[in-house]
Chains A and B, each alone.
Chain A
């Protein structure tokens, strides 16, 4: 597949790096030096020039491209670039990275508006991920499939956790929940009934949202994620704004701390249920006066990774139950989580996940990444020609390489618990966990 990526910023580079092995990637970049840099760093072709200019896109071969990704930092540039690419080749699938949700709203009204086939809103996606994590106590990562009927979540088993030192069979007290994997010391392990869960493990579960919620509650009974949760959001960036907005939609009244007076005022006007405070969030006097330490969850969405780290560490010190940090540099995520941040989320990773959905070959509809690249959770709709159709799960799993777990099935919009003798039908949506090591092999079968 020929892919043209416009903009060699962090996101563009990261996507180019993901795609370089399997696809022909052309990167358009208007800074010559940056373009040169990329030529050496990655196995891609770079074209220097303005991605909104017809001649540049022609040089990049956008006319024959299967997919055009506009990933610059500027919304308008991305929109114009996609429109231009569409004018050049009507058949190319165009994806634009957008920050401002107003364009997303327009696009949602008429999908295909601006000549864009898919719009990825960085800030909104990141906020949605944060809210999912906030909604599940102790969860490190969470994603939904099959229109919200199936949920995947990753939990860390802390010391004293009720499931620590239990076997999977003992821990699995919920009928519509599947233990898909255990991540131990960075390795992916597919558990069987008598696998023992240890402190420090991370478990990946797939199931109905209710059962995942219940599971989360048994893991952390002291934190009630429901309406009473006290959430503090630090930093009134777009991400911070959307986190508060989404929490408001779920009936919560978060507190939001923003330093800039004008921005704080604007946020206070736009968020009726949120208590906006104008202060430097590292001011200990302020944090103590407002009893930030009593909060259940603190989400730090400041503009620099270091500030977010500092904020989360301060919050932990004051007694906040869980801290969530937005981390721009994907490479910092692990480090920050080791130091003490409970959950680190990288907007770039979130965007890359979303965009990679469309570059996946085959019929994958939805995808989530476990620990950036250790494993993936995919949603697949079975068609008549699928080799899995008509077989029981026990047989189907036998065909698949080791490292693949069928986590959940939805049939006619109903959740079905996958058992060994469940037969797969055409039209079923299957949510599978796939170890990255066997991904290519598995994708061929699926």
Chain B
């Protein structure tokens, strides 16, 4: 008798999350962050730029990682710990990613909020920048932005699973927490192996993109696409991220280079499991996938629509090839949530701009590097709406929602509805915040521009309209607005739920 009255007599509520386990693994992840930091460090040596920002950051991340690794007694990651780890990992990488910017201390990046904005926008593959003058920043620092985006592209935890042997058991849980859209498709019986295959594929496509871009400069059709630019753009195209070391984005390069970037953005937003089977020789696999067919259809349809809008717009006077190129590029860039631009679409007609705005909410396929709400969710929402209309007429009918030959269970449909609604609510809240804060701080921002900026940051796209347009900068926003955007880029990239779950009191108690 009386064992457990004893326990409650301690009189304080116990934290039921083994946060030490989460922090311990976070430590291991941060230690590994030293490896990608070596790349800009090498560039700094090569270009004779300051190496200190990267060397110091490497030391910080190693020390911090080592310290955190000593925390836990038990390393096992379960459901609750996974939420905490996912939320913390993205935040920590963004914070550490900002350190080189601060240490370099050039231009706006000397400001902590701006540095964190840039870093968070990088890791979350948003691509919204606060830089106004690119020329004051070293090439190594600009490359660090690209590297951050590439790391965030496929997901930090997927990367972590592929290198951390202690995640072989809890890894599937983590992958599922990081990408809320679907169950993890294990390509091999071992989750570590699966993560490695995904990253191998990701690295391979990036390398292919870099080599093909560089080849253009070698043959002389795009002379300014040197090795540096080829690598930099390859990393952010496949990651559907959108940073560019050039202030004119991809618009700074020859048309043929612009054309070449399009398929890589498209592939980056394609489900990697499909790409895996495609590469392995099962060529018909993508076409048998219903979401992929919608993806191709929507890209093709909106491209045609955009071309028509540009052709009929008297204010836009491109030659025929350029019209099609700009239409395709902008549509694919925004829809895949990349955020590159070949032209300042701020000057386009309201119809064209609103079409781009609407595309921000779509996103590419689930299981890719894309962000936003993702087509999978929209397809499920559309199908279950159609089902509901049918059952309104035939109340006894039972119509499971099908995706390809699979049935989507009702719980998933509820989750998808909730997620979509939540996304839209947060988007509206951020819009209102931007407008109100703009009035408070004296930044002139129209409602449409506020909506676009809210969608573009929260849904991790990048450029918006007005001063935050493709060739503009988020710099003029007040620090309060930028802080809200930093928070929501983080929340949006890990698909809302992990952060919200960690923020509920129930999560911490039994």
Residues of A within 8 A of B (CB): 257, 264-265, 267-269, 272, 275-279, 286, 290
| A268:B396 contact, CB within 8 angstroms | no
Most buried by A among B397, B399, B402, B407: B397
| B396:A290 contact, CB within 8 angstroms | yes
| A272: chain B residues within 8 A (beta carbon) | 402, 405
Most buried by A among B396, B399, B402: B396
| Majority DSSP secondary structure for residues of A touching B | mixed
- Near A by CB (< 8 A), chain B positions 368-415 give 394, 396-400, 402, 405, 407
| B402:A276 contact, CB within 8 angstroms | no
| A290:B400 contact, CB within 8 angstroms | no
| B398:A278 contact, CB within 8 angstroms | yes
Complex Cα distance A268/B397, Å?
9
| A269:B397 contact, CB within 8 angstroms | no
Most buried by A among B394, B402, B405: B394
Complex Cα distance A9/B402, Å?
41
Complex Cα distance A290/B394, Å?
7
| A277:B398 contact, CB within 8 angstroms | yes
| B396: chain A residues within 8 A (beta carbon) | 257, 277-279, 286, 290
Q: Which 10 residue pairs of A and B lie closest in terms of their CB atoms, listed nearest first?
A: A277-B396, A279-B396, A268-B398, A269-B407, A276-B398, A269-B400, A268-B400, A264-B398, A277-B397, A278-B398
Residue of B nearest to A261 (CB): B398
Complex Cα distance A272/B403, Å?
11
Complex Cα distance A168/B375, Å?
65
| B397: chain A residues within 8 A (beta carbon) | 275-278
| B398: chain A residues within 8 A (beta carbon) | 264-265, 267-268, 276-278
Question: From residue B386, how far is it (CB to closest CB) to chain A in Å?
Answer: 14
Residue of A nearest to B408 (CB): A269
Question: From residue A379, how far is it (CB to closest CB) to chain B in Å?
Answer: 38
Complex Cα distance A290/B396, Å?
9
Complex Cα distance A277/B394, Å?
8
| A265:B400 contact, CB within 8 angstroms | yes
| B394: chain A residues within 8 A (beta carbon) | 275, 277, 290
Most buried by A among B394, B400, B402: B400
| A277: chain B residues within 8 A (beta carbon) | 394, 396-398
Most buried by B among A264, A267, A268: A268
Complex Cα distance A277/B393, Å?
12
Question: Can you spell out 29 A-B residue pairs with CB atoms less than 8 angstroms apart?
Answer: A257-B396, A264-B398, A265-B398, A265-B400, A267-B398, A268-B398, A268-B399, A268-B400, A269-B400, A269-B407, A272-B402, A272-B405, A275-B394, A275-B397, A275-B399, A276-B397, A276-B398, A276-B399, A277-B394, A277-B396, A277-B397, A277-B398, A278-B396, A278-B397, A278-B398, A279-B396, A286-B396, A290-B394, A290-B396
Question: From residue B138, how far is it (CB to closest CB) to chain A in Å?
Answer: 58
Complex Cα distance A272/B398, Å?
11
| B402: chain A residues within 8 A (beta carbon) | 272
| B405: chain A residues within 8 A (beta carbon) | 272
Given contacts A269-B400, A290-B396, 18 further A-B contacts (CB under 8 A): A257-B396, A264-B398, A265-B398, A267-B398, A268-B399, A268-B400, A275-B394, A275-B397, A275-B399, A276-B397, A276-B398, A277-B396, A277-B397, A277-B398, A278-B397, A279-B396, A286-B396, A290-B394
Question: From residue A281, how far is it (CB to closest CB) to chain B in Å?
Answer: 10
| B400: chain A residues within 8 A (beta carbon) | 265, 268-269
Complex Cα distance A277/B402, Å?
17
Complex Cα distance A272/B394, Å?
17
